[in-house]
Chains A and B, each alone.
Chain A
Amino acid sequence: MRPGTALALGGLGLAFVLLEWVLPRALNPYYLTILTRIGVAIVAAVSLQLVNGFTGQFSIGHAGFMAVGAYASAALSVYLGSEWLAALASALPIWLARALYFPIPLLVGGALAAVAGLLVGIPTLRLRGDYLAIATLGFGEIIRVVILNVDAVGGARGFALNATSGVDLRFEDLGAIYAVVALSVGVIARLAYSSAGLAFRAVREDETAAESIGVATTRVKVLAFVVSSFFAGVAGALFAHSEGYIHTNSFSFVRSFEIMVFVVLGGLGSITGAVIAATVLTAAPEGLRGLGELRMILYSLLLIAVMILRPQGLMGSRELSLAPLRARLRGRRAAA
């Protein structure tokens, strides 16, 4: 094993131990909730970055796909999953049963959101620019209103994840949540900087030019949209299972705007930028709570000021990376 790999694995292990055992004992539940919400915000922001930042398609209906993921996974857990989890728990130790069960709602939530993304993406992605933006926004709102009218998932009352079989359907282990976050960010980053990602960026820079050198632009756009919707669904499922109660109000266009702000403020085309912006902007309103009523005013002024001072976003399209550091270390070793 190369020393770099060992270091990375060690760091990940340490982070997991910290999140799973140290923080839950050291912090009060309020901070743990904020940490969980930051995780959800990161997955949502990075998934939207793939469409807005890397493929250059202006989509602002992301909360709709989160809603699909959240409600699909919650319905699965409440109506079927609680039996499965109870059966697993009777045969296995409880932590193993939960570890085996929880990937299922996350994947199902993601998969249904991806199907929704495909259905929305195929007709709308031939629209350009602002027309695409408003069509995605519209679909997001339609999804929300439709869910609001489905009685099986609570309708206007909201939907609580209460199990009939007495097991706990909530999923609050920080270590496991951040494992999902890291995996999602990792997959999206690998895709964004792969050869498929090159096609995404070609479409972003110039659709006509990309088409002329043989990039199947429509397919590329739909692919980016479907993958993005999948992870938005995972974020929704994570949100539903960590909060334990969901309501369609959490998935209105205001939420979509919030995710778009993460992406643009972090820097279009920067995965690490989206992670930083999602973290800071989710934590900021909580950190400003001491200011009382002035907090949201300060938050909005901050948003305006940052955007005027750095119109390209915090990171521009660059990534925060350890590569320069590594190169310098290697250079020093070669010199010695």
Chain B
Amino acid sequence: MENLLQQLVNGIAWGSIYALVALGYTMVYGVLRLINFAHGEVYMVGAMTGFYAAHALGVADRPSALGLAATLLAAMATCAALGATIERVAYRPLRRAPRLAPLITAIGVSLLLQNAGQLVLGADPKFFPPLVASREAWRVGSLAVSNIQLTVMATAVVLMAGLELVVMRTRVGRAMRAVAQDADAAALMGVPVDRIIQLTFVLGSALAGAAGIQVGLSNPKIDPLMGLMPGLKAFVAAVLGGIGSIPGAMVGGLLLGVVETLVAGYLSSTYRDAIAFVILIAILLYRPTGLFGSAQAEKV
């Protein structure tokens, strides 16, 4: 029983990383109807930026809350700039193109970042500096929660609350929701659609950058191809929750993290990579638009 609780805690910590990445997928999908396959690489760039920023700032071997915050900001800012650039260069020229065209440029950008990463940073794995000194924060019976897990979960909660605030309570957020509902009508109402789309990429990519730092803290081995599988699974999490839905991405990410941890703990770790897709298909067969997705009426 305590083992189960322990696995749940580990799963939630792991799932909050998925959730942050999934948010970027779901927000971009909401405004552009585009699966941004380059998003996993943005998350990789976040982890890499964190690695170099921590060394440059000299906080790599001295764990401190300030150092962590500075690294986190550096990674989020870099990823935000990267996201805006990707949108401008690879997606905006294709706004009126057939729907699959930007998908191919997304794959192109993803390949570009993987290979440029290997060329510039080297293909060998790096070890993320321990910005948080690992120790047990809480212990109840045999259930232990490390302070890394607490940090990961706390940043995730703060960032998600911030996002919810921006999307639901600000003018920009309202413009984002308007573009997601109907970009043409939003443009007629005076919403600067291109700028809002770019802003969506900025927010989503900043969250992916934060996820990169979190994964560096909890799983220090990082390399230029690290974004591939987690990126795909975060996308699965977004679809699970109902792509385009922000609470859906949060729930989907947590659910995926918990189930994967449970499967790896109780069944077999070789099936871990398949289980995400098994749940996905099971849920899609019962709710074809995901947990929080709304069915769109067919227009005749």
Q: List the interface of chain A (C-beta within 8 A of B).
A: 52, 58, 123-124, 126-128, 130-131, 133-135, 137-139, 141-142, 144-146, 148-149, 208, 253-254, 257, 260-261, 264-265, 268, 293-294, 296-297, 299-301, 303-304, 307-308, 311-313
B277-300 vs A, Cβ < 8 Å mask (1 yes, 0 no): 110110011001110000000101
Give the CA-CA distance A127 to B285 in the complex, in Å: 8
For B277, give its contact among A139, A299, A312 (CB under 8 Å).
Answer: A139
For A297, give its contact among B119, B236, B284 (CB under 8 Å).
Answer: B119
Min distance, Cβ B32 to any Cβ of chain A, angstroms = 12
Give the CA-CA distance A254 to B236 in the complex, in Å: 16
Min distance, Cβ B1 to any Cβ of chain A, angstroms = 29
Q: Chain A contacts of B116 at CB under 8 A?
A: 297
Range, interface on chain B? 35 or more
Q: List the interface of chain B (C-beta within 8 A of A).
A: 29, 33, 35, 37, 89-90, 93-94, 97-98, 100-105, 107-109, 111-112, 115-116, 118-119, 228, 232, 235-236, 239, 243, 270-271, 273-274, 276-278, 280-281, 284-285, 288-290, 298, 300
Q: Contact: B271 with A149, CB < 8 Å?
A: yes
Give the CA-CA distance A80 to B281 in the complex, in Å: 35
Q: Which residue of B lies closest to A146 (CB)?
A: B274
For A308, give its contact among B94, B235, B270, B284 (CB under 8 Å).
Answer: B94
Q: Which residue of B lies closest to A148 (CB)?
A: B270
Q: Contact: A128 with B232, CB < 8 Å?
A: no
Q: Contact: A208 with B300, CB < 8 Å?
A: yes
Q: Contact: A303 with B101, CB < 8 Å?
A: no
Q: Chain B contacts of A141 at CB under 8 A?
A: 273-274, 277
Q: Which residue of A lies closest to B242 (CB)?
A: A131
Q: Which residue of A lies closest to B33 (CB)?
A: A130
Give the CA-CA distance A240 to B290 in the complex, in Å: 37
* Known pairs A301-B112, A304-B90; A135 contacts B105 (CB<8 A): no
**7 residue pairs, one from A and one from B, having the closest CB atoms:** A311-B97, A138-B277, A145-B274, A303-B108, A300-B111, A300-B112, A304-B108
A-B pairs with beta carbons under 8 Å apart, 25 shown: A130-B33, A130-B243, A134-B236, A134-B280, A134-B284, A135-B280, A138-B236, A138-B276, A138-B278, A139-B281, A254-B228, A260-B103, A264-B100, A265-B104, A293-B119, A299-B111, A300-B108, A300-B109, A303-B105, A303-B108, A304-B90, A304-B109, A307-B104, A312-B101, A313-B101
Q: Chain B contacts of A303 at CB under 8 A?
A: 104-105, 107-108, 111
Determine which residue in A139, A208, A268, A307 has the highest number of CB atoms from chain B within 10 A of its CB, and name it: A307
Q: Chain B contacts of A126 at CB under 8 A?
A: 288
Q: Chain B contacts of A133 at CB under 8 A?
A: 35
Given contacts A52-B100, A300-B115, A307-B108, 13 further A-B contacts (CB under 8 A): A134-B235, A135-B280, A139-B277, A142-B277, A261-B107, A264-B104, A303-B104, A303-B105, A303-B107, A307-B101, A307-B102, A307-B105, A313-B101
Min distance, Cβ B273 to any Cβ of chain A, angstroms = 6
Q: Contact: B119 with A308, CB < 8 Å?
A: no
Give the CA-CA distance A294 to B120 in the complex, in Å: 11
Q: Which residue of B lies closest to A209 (CB)?
A: B300
Q: Contact: A131 with B115, CB < 8 Å?
A: no
Give the CA-CA distance A264 to B101 in the complex, in Å: 7
Min distance, Cβ B108 to any Cβ of chain A, angstroms = 4
Give the CA-CA distance A135 to B243 in the complex, in Å: 13
Q: Chain B contacts of A144 at CB under 8 A?
A: 274
* Known pairs A296-B111, A304-B105; A123 contacts B285 (CB<8 A): yes
Q: Chain A contacts of B290 at CB under 8 A?
A: 131
Q: Chain A contacts of B105 at CB under 8 A?
A: 303-304, 307-308
* Known pairs A134-B280, A300-B115, A308-B93; A127 contacts B288 (CB<8 A): yes
Determine which residue in B94, B107, B119 has the highest number of CB atoms from chain A within 10 A of its CB, and name it: B107
Q: Chain A contacts of B109 at CB under 8 A?
A: 300, 304
Min distance, Cβ B62 to any Cβ of chain A, angstroms = 35
Give the CA-CA distance A139 to B276 in the complex, in Å: 11
Q: Chain A contacts of B119 at CB under 8 A?
A: 293-294, 297
Min distance, Cβ B134 to any Cβ of chain A, angstroms = 31
Give the CA-CA distance A27 to B109 in the complex, in Å: 35
Q: Which residue of B lies closest to A308 (CB)?
A: B93
Q: Chain A contacts of B98 at CB under 8 A?
A: 268, 311-312
* Known pairs A261-B104, A268-B100, A308-B94; A135 contacts B284 (CB<8 A): yes
Give the CA-CA distance A145 to B268 in the complex, in Å: 12
Q: Chain A contacts of B111 at CB under 8 A?
A: 296, 299-300, 303
Q: Contact: A131 with B284, CB < 8 Å?
A: yes
Give the CA-CA distance A23 to B207 in the complex, in Å: 54
Min distance, Cβ B235 to any Cβ of chain A, angstroms = 7
Q: Chain B contacts of A300 at CB under 8 A?
A: 108-109, 111-112, 115
